[in-house]
């Protein structure tokens, strides 16, 4: 009896250790409808997650992977948008690395500090232009394109790292 109890306890510990290791390595089981993976789109590696996090946590999740929240240069927006549509993710909201710093009229890519020159706003966006707060760019393809929200908002979206 003691032998079986010890064996059962040891197996339970192995299961717990295995689960913790998978989570810490990002290999945890994906919940129904959730997508998390590294993908290559036109030679660029992205990490796409539909898990719900606020903007600050999305930034941190990318940094842990040695990446930044996505910026779109050249035709990258169209390539990523196409990939998301083709993989059934067009109805998800995603945080990006685009932002407008406090008290600034200029939208920039956070990773480089470079001004954004090619915008893909939804109809009636950006909406935070009259505010002096720091606003961040998020998007939902089915909603029509880019949206702006206060970076410190309690919105929880997926995120894309690059």
pTM: 0.78
Q: How much is the pLDDT for 74?
A: 86
Q: In this structure, are 109 and 79 located in the same domain? A: yes
Q: Are residues 132 and 147 in the same domain?
A: yes
SS3 of residue 162 by DSSP: coil
CB 58 within 8 A of CB 110: no
CATH number at residue 141: 3.10.100.10
- The DSSP annotation for 31-87 comes to PTT--EEEEEETTEEEEEEEEEE-HHHHHHHHHHTT--B----TTHHHHHHHHHHHT
Nearest C-alpha neighbor of 121 from the set 137, 145, 149: 145
Q: Are residues 130 and 149 in the same domain?
A: yes
Task: Answer yes or no: do 72 and 149 share one domain.
Answer: yes
CB 146 within 8 Å of CB 139: yes
Contact predicate 41/79, CB 8 Å: yes
Res 132: pLDDT: 82
**130/118 Cα distance (integer angstroms):** 21
pLDDT at 116: 97
82: containing domain: 31-161
pLDDT tens for the chain, 162 residues long, are 454 344 333 333 333 343 333 334 444 434 445 689 999 999 999 999 999 999 999 999 999 999 999 999 988 999 999 999 999 999 999 999 999 999 999 999 999 999 999 999 999 999 987 788 899 999 999 999 999 999 999 999 999 999
List, in sequence order, every residue forming a beta bridge with 140; answer none if it has no partner.
Answer: 145
Total number of domains constituting the chain: 2
CA triplet 138, 140, 141: central angle to 5 degrees?
130
């Amino acid at each position: 009896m003691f032998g079986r109890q010890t064996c059962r306890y040891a197996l339970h510990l192995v299961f717990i250790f295995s689960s913790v290791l998978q989570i810490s390595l990002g290999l945890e089981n994906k919940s129904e409808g959730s997508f998390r993976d590294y993908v290559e789109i036109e030679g660029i590696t992205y990490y796409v997650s539909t898990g719900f996090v606020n903007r600050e946590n999305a930034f941190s999740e990318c940094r842990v992977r040695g990446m930044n929240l996505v910026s779109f240069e050249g035709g990258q927006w169209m390539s990523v948008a196409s990939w998301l549509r083709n993989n059934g993710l067009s109805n998800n909201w995603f945080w990006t690395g685009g932002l407008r710093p406090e008290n600034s009229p200029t939208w920039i890519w956070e990773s480089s500090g470079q001004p954004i020159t090619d915008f893909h706003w939804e109809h009636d966006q950006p909406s935070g232009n009259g505010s002096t707060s720091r606003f961040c760019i998020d998007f939902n393809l089915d909603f029509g394109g880019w949206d702006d929200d206060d970076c410190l908002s309690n919105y929880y979206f997926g995120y894309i790292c690059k």
